Amino acid sequence: MTQTALAGAAATGTETVPAEAPANVRTVRARPAAKPHGQWKVDGKAPLNPVEVWKQDDDGLAVRQRIESIYSREGFDSIADDDLHGRFRWWGLYTQRKQGIDGGKTASLEPHELEDKYLMLRVRIDGGVLSTEQLRVIAGISTDFARGTADLTDRQNIQLHWVEIESVPEIWRRLESVGLSTTEACGDVPRVILGSPVAGIAKDEILDPSGFIEELNRRFIGNPEFSNLPRKYKTSITGHPNQDTVHEINDVSFVGVLHPELGPGYDLWVGGGLSTAPRLAKRVGVFVPPGDGPAVWEAVTSIFRDYGYRRMRNKARMKFLIDDWGIGKFRQILEEEYLGRKLPEGIVPPQAKALGDHIGVHEQKDGKFFIGTSPIVGRLSGDTLLALAEVLEAHGTHRLRTTPHQKILVLDVDGGDVESIIADLDAIGLSARPSIFRRATMACTGIEFCKLAIVNTKGTAAHAIAELEVRLADLIDSGELVQPIGLYINGCPNSCARIQTADIGLKGMMLPTDDGGHTPGFQVHLGGGLASVEREEAGLGRTVRGLKVPVDDLPDYVERVIRTYVANRTAGETFAEWSHRADEGLLQ
């Protein structure tokens, strides 16, 4: 065989080794062909891992029929494994953690050893839009079927725990009777659509995205065209200038802008996501007119479905596709292959002028007021939800919103009722004038219910808030500490509480003790944050080698580092700016 032929064989991925190659002919061994990524449009649809197998065997949406006709009647032990640990997620259901299992055993036990025969159920609330009628239904479900639990997530959902499979059909019936659902609240699907919680009411909004969100929900949620994506897929849409839907950490985001020539519309971002491989979303560089929003969302989502990586689950998010393609190629594929037309050049969203959590009292465009309130790290209950509905209705309003910051907004309050409703809300644990620590602390579910968690989060956060309010009162009273310092507490490395984007982010882990044992604690991340009134661009936190804090020492550490910041900052320097420039010794 000639050298040309040998080279050609190598190029096709074959290996050519003649039985008796002449001495003057170099044997060519081809490099192994690159493994396929499992991209449907490149590699075909043959499933390349066990999850992709069962997803193709039976769509996740199909499990509802089995839940209603078999599992809810025959009980937990009748549930097929692929359904319980896979397709149930398409309907907002996970098994919850068995009580009493130490965090040190999270990584060593098998999933079936960690899980209980109870379920976590996630109620999908796109855009955070709720009525008091819907709130009453969730409260009733919490009381009747979930031992009174109700947690507000940082994705505008409400999660219930202790749910038994036998109760699920009745829960669905109640939710759907008032226009709510659990459809695709989890799974490899378009999850809840984050939306500006002040859509349609804020005096200063650039445009109202309510219709956009409603159309996406109506056309695409529960649609088999998008019920088998490579992994979870998160959407954010806001028309508010304070950029209140954490757009930098979603797979696809639409950010309201006012184009100097084309008027109000959206700037498109793609490829955000945190977890163990954090990435901040990137601007595509296009302007999306309001009427084009659904078509552009459909096109971007179709790219993820068709080109997203399906061989390795830990590489199956949009952010890894963007890493490899770059924004230039992504835009080309979007416009040429999926939209069939060019989009106008976009503009960079201007910096926010205020915090995006909407805490406090704000006038609406109709002259009434909305009030942003803070529960403690999203921890609510069925009784609290019912009491909230009663407070609102007693003051003549029936609308509220959840936010991506574990907050609740009360809408449509008459000016004369503002102070009385604030007092009533405070009495049920919802503060419209929270301390800076309560306002800026978030926590995930934690070891109480999550099978992945290592440490307690909700209780740890509540204790830290109470301690810091007392310990740092002198700095607050003197005016030396005014702006909230974000304290985000996560029970494991997966960053459901967005630890890499916190001023002080805490990743749950087990820490060694002097006696050879272990104790729950945190790896500390410092100086992260999303674009806000305090920073022009998002940035990830700084990880200081060896900076780990036991759970019991958390209030001591936070007090110490904040006092050090106040003593050493320059004029106007934020905590994030200081923590990135400070010597490591000052951060300990």
Q: pLDDT tens digits for 130-176? A: 999 999 999 999 999 999 999 999 999 999 999 999 999 999 999 99
**518-526/360-363 β-pairing:** unpaired
**DSSP code at position 202:** B
Count of other CB atoms within 10 angstroms of residue 339: 17
Count the Cβ atoms, other than its own, within 10 Å of residue 88: 26
* Cα 280 from Cα 269, distance rounded (Å): 10
Which three-class secondary structure state does DSSP give residue 436? helix
Main-chain phi, psi angles of 507, to 5 degrees: -100, 120
Q: Are strands 399-402 and 408-413 parallel, antiparallel or unpaired?
A: antiparallel
Q: What are phi and psi of 63, to 5 degrees?
A: -70, -20
The CATH code that applies to domain 38-186+361-429 is 3.90.480.10
Amino acid at 119: L
Rounded to whole angstroms, the Cα distance separating 575 from 362 reads 27
Phi-psi region of 162 (alpha: psi -120 to 50; beta: other; left: phi over 0): left
Residues 6+ apart with CB under 8 A from 554: 460, 463, 464, 506, 522
Angle in degrees, 0-180, between the axes of helices 132-145 and 168-177, rounded to the nearest 10: 170
Q: Where are the domains of the chain?
A: 38-186+361-429, 205-352, 439-586
Residue 75 has what pLDDT?
98
Structure-block tokens of residue 289: 């007119």
Strands 369-373 and 408-413: antiparallel
Helix or strand run (H / E) with residue 252: strand 252-259
Burial tier of 32 (Cβ tally within 10 Å: 0-12, 13-18, 19+): exposed
Burial (CB < 10 A; 0-12, 13-18, 19+), residue 218, is: exposed
Q: In angstroms, rounded to a whole number, what is the distance separating the alpha carbons of residues 271 and 321?
A: 8
C-alpha angle with apex 234: 228 to 238, nearest 5 degrees?
140
Q: What's the maximum distance between 2 C-alpha atoms anywhere in the chain?
A: 98
Decide if 38-186+361-429 and 205-352 have a common fold: no
pLDDT of residue 33: 62
Burial of 113 (0-12, 13-18, 19+ CB in 10 A): exposed
At residue 423, the pLDDT reads: 98
pLDDT on residue 111: 84
The reported pLDDT for the residue numbered 321 is 98
**Which residues of the chain fall below pLDDT 50?**
1-25
The pLDDT of residue 9 is: 35
pLDDT of residue 5: 36
Exposure string of 155-183, with b = 16+ CB inside 10 Å and e = fewer, is bbbbbbbbbebebbbebbebbeeeebbbb
How far from 260 is each of 265, 269, 390, CA to CA, in Å?
A: 11, 20, 45
Please state, in angstroms and rounded to a whole number, the distance separating the CA atoms of residues 102 and 320.
Answer: 34
CATH code reported for the domain at 205-352:
3.30.413.10
Sign of CA dihedral 489, 491, 493, 496: negative
pLDDT score of 30: 55
The CATH number that domain 439-586 falls under is 3.30.413.10
Alpha-carbon span 169 to 129, nearest angstrom: 23
